[in-house]
Chains A and B, each alone.
Chain A
Amino acid sequence: MSSLRNAVKRVEHKERAQPASRRKLGLLEKHKDYVLRARNYGKKRDRMQALKLKAAMKNPDEFYFAMHRKKTEGGVHVLDGAETLPHDVVQLLKTQDLGYVSTHRSADERKAAKLRESLHMLEAGPRNKHTIFFDSEKEAKEFDVAKHFDTVPELADRAFNRPRKDTLEKAQVTGATNRRQLKKVLKKRDASYSELMQRLERAEKMKKAEVHLEAQRKVMNSKGTKRKVQEAKDGRPAVYRWKKERSR
């Protein structure tokens, strides 16, 4: 019976794409994808099981040749190959670290400066002082921002641009004008500001790291007796003082 059914060509059910209403969930997983995922899962599960089994079946008294070389010091297992690097090698590595950090700091600073050229912090609110001179006390008393600047009250506080009433009537905004485009544009602007902030922050952090590395390097390279006069604090490195010595 079934073989007969197989002889007739059946409708091929194509897999659907993600319905439009669920688009935000991303691509819809197809059977093909499921198979890959399931195989991967199965493989990992089997491997875990095998390892667990091996661990459980381990003979604690088993001998390994590595045991000959291992030792403990005061009951603590010490690793071999962990001996300290020679002084001059460390010195070299430290200068390399310093070079790396300072290169990246200056790159960040340069990029931040470039961004800042066209990010003028308009919406941050005024931080300056604006003085207007009047002839009489009376004029000063009657001062009204919107009236003085010939603008609408809603824009009176917007120091970076208080368009005049006739500018508002005549001139128009160009470029993106509908709400959707506008939203997109503002999103881009916010992204630029966040990049600027991140770069400044990172440059600041690297500056700190640089100061520390520089201090370490100087201490390492120095000759003569030194004394610590101040502990490291507030993100600044410790301060040392060297004994004065005649150079010749």
Chain B
Amino acid sequence: MKGGAKVVVEPHRHEGVFIARGKEDALCTLNSSPGKAVYGEKLISVEAPPSEDGTTSKIEYRVWNPFRSKLAAAILGGVDGIHIVPGAKVLYLGAAAGTTVSHVADIVGPSGCVYAVEFAHRPGRDLINMAKSRTNVIPIIEDARHPLKYRMLVGMVDTVFADVAQPDQARIVALNSHYFLKNGGHCVISIKASCVDSTASPEAVFAQEVSKLKTENFKPKEQVTLEPYERDHAVVIALYRPPKKSKSKD
């Protein structure tokens, strides 16, 4: 290897996510369509450790900017579980142009699947374009308030991720979970305090959203705020219809 490697890539707590250091100091995911960037993000390629027969190959990562993605900010904020793992099926509400969705697709890999719902047509076009190079993304241009309209497209999912930035987000999540989320699955929702109630303090808004989730049969697990990447934002992770306490052993 001439000149030595220029980056170090360490695996992250969450499978499929990595931390790269070099000229950059960045969160990244494995690029599932090597050589191509989705939205102009930086690509980092690293020589893979040689396999048994001595051949070397390159691994390519895509930088995942926490200043643009709430999920990335939550990961760097230290969440315990994002419940988006290789092989998982994820319903993503509020996909916009698919920047975050593309990273989620990288994580779940070819055996997983991302159903990306977005109702605005303009970002929807970019989303559909992105899905062309990532076959595990199923773009759905519909209003997330009417899950019946896309029930034929979506199967049962392990996780619902929501970033719709609407005041009735909790209701939207509950509605979708009712149709698509398996019992014992998780929801990961990003809350922008000013979108829900711009007069109340952010903490109060987060608490209010958590209690709304509770009434909808969710059991909150954790909540992280997104400083320094976003102000007055939080990501809440909750368990859906927790299985009844059967394991009385522990």
Cα separation A133 to B207 with both chains bound (whole Å): 12
- A-B CB contact pairs (8 Å), 25 listed: A116-B67, A117-B63, A117-B67, A118-B25, A119-B24, A120-B65, A128-B77, A130-B222, A131-B223, A131-B224, A149-B13, A159-B76, A159-B78, A160-B19, A160-B27, A160-B77, A163-B12, A167-B11, A167-B15, A172-B49, A174-B48, A174-B49, A176-B4, A176-B7, A189-B25
Q: Are B24 and A192 in contact (CB under 8 A)?
A: yes
Tell which of A67-75, A91-99, A179-187, A232-240 binds the partner: A179-187
Residues of B within 8 A of A160 (CB): 19, 27, 75-78
Q: Are A175 and B46 in contact (CB under 8 A)?
A: yes
Shortest C-beta distance, B76 to chain A (Å), equals: 5
Shortest C-beta distance, B217 to chain A (Å), equals: 15
Tally inter-chain residue pairs, CB-CB below 8 A. Answer: 146
B7, B46, B66: the one within 8 Å of A120 (CB): B66
Residues of A within 8 A of B5 (CB): 175-177, 181, 185
Shortest C-beta distance, A175 to chain B (Å), equals: 4
What range describes how many residues of B lie at the interface?
35 or more
Say if the beta carbon of A162 comes within 8 Å of chain B.
yes
Given A131-B223, A132-B221, A182-B8 in contact, is the A174-B21 Cβ separation under 8 Å? no
Q: Are B19 and A161 in contact (CB under 8 A)?
A: yes
Shortest C-beta distance, A76 to chain B (Å), equals: 57
Residues of B within 8 A of A173 (CB): 8-11
Shortest C-beta distance, B69 to chain A (Å), equals: 11
Shortest C-beta distance, A150 to chain B (Å), equals: 9
Say if the beta carbon of A127 comes within 8 Å of chain B.
yes
Say if the beta carbon of B170 comes within 8 Å of chain A.
no
Residues of B within 8 A of A180 (CB): 4
Q: Are B46 and A174 in contact (CB under 8 A)?
A: yes
Say if the beta carbon of A171 comes within 8 Å of chain B.
yes
Residue of B nearest to A195 (CB): B23
List residues of chain B with CB under 8 Å of any chain A CB.
Answer: 4-13, 15, 19-27, 41-42, 46-49, 59, 63, 65-67, 75-80, 210, 219-228
Residues of B within 8 A of A159 (CB): 76-78
Q: Are A128 and B221 in contact (CB under 8 A)?
A: no
Counting from the closest, the 4 A-B pairs by CB-CB distance are: A159-B78, A118-B24, A171-B11, A176-B5
Cα separation A161 to B12 with both chains bound (whole Å): 6
Cα separation A162 to B77 with both chains bound (whole Å): 11
Cα separation A161 to B10 with both chains bound (whole Å): 9
Say if the beta carbon of A126 comes within 8 Å of chain B.
yes
Given A117-B65, A130-B78, A185-B8 in contact, is the A192-B25 Cβ separation under 8 Å? yes
